[in-house]
Amino acid sequence: MSTPKEALHTTNAPQPAGPYSQAIVSGDLLFTAGFGPQDPATGEVSDSVAEQTRQVLRTLQAVLAERGASLEDVLKTTVHLADLADFQEFNEAYREFFSEPFPVRTTVGSQLANIKVEIDAVARISA
């Protein structure tokens, strides 16, 4: 028997640009899509890696809040940076949002479409 899955949707995050959900809940786990730094209200994107990181993490907060969760519930993140030379600036902004014990994280260099940062997360939530 498969575990049911539920799609989450919030207007406080950028809307999917294709056939995917903003997040899926299965059991006590929440998996997010990879979010870029677009402001959900205006679509604007900052030029700063730090501000792009902050916007992405605010978006993740909004998606998690749809199920009563927060960044404290995040177990793992995957980070895509357009330029790994931006790692230090990214890391300083990222640290503003998480406290110890930090989620595990994978950070990779990726070709991104006109953005510098994309992040997805896995969180444990109340089922």
Q: Report the Cα 77 to chain-centroid distance in Å.
A: 7
Cβ–Cβ < 8 Å for 52, 59: no
3-state secondary structure of 98: coil
3-state secondary structure of 108: strand
DSSP state of 58: H
pLDDT in tens, 14-73: 989 899 999 999 999 999 999 999 999 999 999 999 999 999 999 999 999 999 999 999
In the numeric block, which tokens belong to residue 102?
């930090």
Cβ–Cβ < 8 Å for 61, 71: yes
Asked if the model's pLDDT at residue 12 lies above 80, the reply is yes
- Domains, the chain, ordered by start: 5-124 (3.30.1330.40)
pLDDT score of 3: 74
